[in-house]
Amino acid sequence: MQQFWGGQLNSEMMTNAAFFALVFLVITAVLFLARRIAFSAFERWARKTDTRADDFIIDSVRQPSVFWVFATSIYITIATSGLPPKFVNYGLKALYVLIILSVTLAVANIASKLVQGAIEKSSPGVAVTGLSKAVIKVVILGLGLLIMLNGLGVSITPMLTALGVGGLAVALALQDSLSNLFAGIHLLMERPIRVGDYIKISSGEEGFVSDIGWRTTRLRQPSNNIVIVPNNKLSTSTITNYHLPMTSLSFPIQISVSYSSDPEHVEKVLVDEAGKAVGEVPGLLAEPAPLVRFIPGFGPSSLDFTLICQVADYTDQALVQHELRKRIFRRFREEGIEFPFPTHTVYLKK
């Protein structure tokens, strides 16, 4: 008789469990379908608006909404189950974890987007680095984790004490990684370089800053190769930033002519040809106007001039110099200005 009642009770519990599982799956499927329809409608509406706020809100809640679906399914299943208080308590704890986790993810995504928008608004053309986004998300996720543990009845104080004691051992074991991390934070705070700047460091590497990560900084060379530089090496190097304080800069072109040339005539021709090229050669600026200096001056077999021009960006130098040299070569031929050839005078002692 006892075996009969035990078997009947087991069978009833399995039937109830199967029923609750079926209810949970059906509700979850319905909610996921509703979520998909809702996001499709919101995306169609967002495409018709001019503001970007609705776009990043939709992107920020897309991932957390998955947890909201499961949380709603768990709540409805528990509310209609009639389970014993012990199981209801377990279900409510799982529901609490899902809600805190989803809200934390949503807040982290929205905060990251808001900071990105604020930086881009305050400094147009300046992109947000991967390290700054990671720091914001880690801080918010850490706070969410502490709130979740506290709500589950887990004491936070012993954990913080253990982290404080073990922090020294971790710091010693991860010296290089922590050095790169703090160097990256230093670069973000002081901002000697920004994403998009063209820089050259004292060891010779140069390129556009594509990202500043928690360990390395990536430089994209004009050849489209990526150079990866550790943050601590970058923070201790001498850096030339060609985009600070502005992107435009002057660059010299060395030009030599023969000693038979008139310096006044050469200067006039160079200034005139550079002035004509303004507006025709991409990247060459009219202000400040091109100028010529008789520097370095008297060479072994030539008169040496320096043509100083202003370009819009560091990378415009190659094209501007290429076009100007062709124009100057043609103009010198027309004006009869000769280019020098190396000569040597030999004295023979009798």
d(CA 97, CA 109): 18
Tell me if 310 sits within 8 A of 327, measured CB to CB: no
Cis peptide before 340 (omega within 30 of 0): no
Q: Which of 147, 145, 138 has its CA nearest to residue 112?
A: 138
Looking at domain 178-241, which CATH architecture does it have?
Roll (2.30)
Element (H, E) at 166: helix 156-173
Choice among 60-69, 126-135, 193-202 with the minimum mean pLDDT: 126-135
pLDDT category at 234 given cuts 50, 70, 90 is confident
Cis peptide before 288 (omega within 30 of 0): yes
Q: Which of 65-74, 109-118, 153-162, 236-245 has the largest mean confidence?
A: 236-245
CATH entry, 249-335, from 3.30.70.100, 3.30.830.10, 1.20.1250.20, 1.20.840.10: 3.30.70.100
Tell me if 201 sits within 8 A of 239, measured CB to CB: yes
In whole angstroms, how far apart are CA 179 and each of 41, 148, 187, 190, 199? 47, 31, 12, 16, 22
Query: What pLDDT, on the 0 to 100 scale, is given for residue 105?
Result: 75
Q: What percent of the chain has pLDDT over 90?
A: 17
d(CA 338, CA 302): 10
Radius of gyration of the chain from Cα atoms?
A: 35
Residues 15-69: tens digit of each pLDDT: 666 777 777 788 888 888 888 888 788 777 777 776 666 666 777 677 777 777 7
Q: Which of 200, 246, 244 has its CA nearest to residue 222?
A: 200
Residues in the chain: 350
Mean pLDDT, residues 250-257 taken together: 90
pLDDT category at 122 given cuts 50, 70, 90 is low
pTM, full prediction: 0.57
DSSP letter string over 280-328? TSTTB-SSSPPEEEEEEEE-SSSEEEEEEEEESSGGGHHHHHHHHHHHH
Give the domain ranges of the chain: 2-154, 178-241, 249-335
d(CA 41, CA 154): 41
pLDDT category at 270 given cuts 50, 70, 90 is very high
Residues 165-174: tens digit of each pLDDT: 555 555 555 5
Tell me if 23 sits within 8 A of 72, measured CB to CB: no
CB atoms within 10 A of CB 305: 22
Under the phi-then-psi rule, with left for phi > 0, alpha for psi from -120 to 50, and beta for the rest, what region is 82? left
- Long-range contact list for 203-207, CB < 8 A, 24+ apart? 203/233, 203/237, 205/229
pLDDT category at 6 given cuts 50, 70, 90 is very low
Identity of the amino acid at 125: G
d(CA 10, CA 300): 106
Residue 7 has pLDDT above 70, yes or no: no
Tell me if 199 sits within 8 A of 242, measured CB to CB: yes
Query: What pLDDT, on the 0 to 100 scale, is given for residue 10?
Result: 60
